[in-house]
Amino acid sequence: MEHIASDRIAWEPAPEEHFTGSAWFGPLAPPATPESLNTLGVMFAPGARTAWHRHVEGQVLYVAYGAGVVANDQGGRVEVSAGDTVVIPAGEVHWHGATPSTFMMHLSLTTGGPTEWMGEEVDDADYLGG
């Protein structure tokens, strides 16, 4: 087995071109091959969220801390909190982030398929919903 202690996780600021607000991510374990499981931790400050994107092979999100929102471009929107899981189908255009007043950390589980960014940030109207 390999124990990866928390101080070995290479947290880095999430790139501004793909995120609104302050977010950090860190790979939790190195994938053995390009096709294998990618385990990524993502921390969002209040108000922070991804830009619109999709995952060619889908994504599983597990909320480890705090509360947030996951929404797609078909009007689907869920409020999530620690302990929740969200399964995002392959190719579904969506975003995820913290609520305006809480931090959120989730685990992102994806296989080797790439993330495709739609080139559009989540504006405040979409972020706040309604």
Binding residues for Mn ion (CB under 5 A): 59
Q: CB-wise, 20 or 59, nearer to Mn ion?
A: 59
Task: For the CB of residue 7, give the shortest distance to Mn ion in the complex, in Å.
Answer: 27
Residue 98 in tokens: 């913290």
Question: Nearest residue by C-beta to Mn ion?
Answer: 59
Task: For the CB of residue 57, give the shortest distance to Mn ion in the complex, in Å.
Answer: 11
User: 43 and 105 in contact (C-beta within 8 Å)?
Assistant: yes
Q: CB-wise, 89 or 129, nearer to Mn ion?
A: 89
For 9: left if phi > 0, alpha if psi spans -120 to 50, otherwise beta; the answer is: beta
Q: How far apart are CA 17 and CA 50, in angstroms?
A: 9
Task: For the CB of residue 1, give the shortest distance to Mn ion in the complex, in Å.
Answer: 29
Q: CB-wise, 2 or 123, nearer to Mn ion?
A: 123
Residue 8 in tokens: 């070995």
